[in-house]
């Protein structure tokens, strides 16, 4: 069984990790939109950017 203190420590770490992942995802989405908006590139180049995010 997992006791309460373990869950409190690891649970809070998981919440922070999920929030950071969400922020990174939002930043990636913004960067993706900026690339499409400001770069008159080929579709291959856009796919290249998405692939390496």
Domain that holds residue 53: 19-53
Residue 13 located in a structural domain: no
Q: Note the pLDDT tens digit of each residue in 5-52.
A: 766 677 777 778 888 888 888 888 877 777 666 565 556 665 666 566
Q: Is 49 a domain residue? A: yes
**What is the structure's pLDDT at 18?**
83
Structure tokens belonging to residue 15: 């919440």
Domain assignment present for 52 = yes
Q: What is the pLDDT of residue 25?
A: 82
Comparing CA positions, the residue from 48, 4, 35, 13 lying closest to residue 21 is 13
HSE of 40, CA atoms in CB hemisphere, 13 A: 0
Per-residue model confidence (pLDDT) at position 31 = 76
Q: What is the pTM of this model?
A: 0.38
pLDDT recorded at residue 43: 62
d(C-alpha 3, C-alpha 20), whole Å: 26
Do residues 29 and 50 make contact, with C-beta atoms less than 8 angstroms apart?
A: no
4 within some domain: no
Into how many domains does the chain fold? 1
């Amino acid at each position: 069984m997992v006791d309460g203190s373990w869950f409190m420590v690891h649970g809070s770490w998981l919440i922070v990790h999920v929030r950071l992942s969400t922020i990174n995802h939002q930043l990636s989405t913004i960067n993706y939109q900026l690339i499409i908006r400001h770069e008159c590139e080929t579709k291959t180049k856009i796919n290249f950017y998405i692939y390496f995010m």
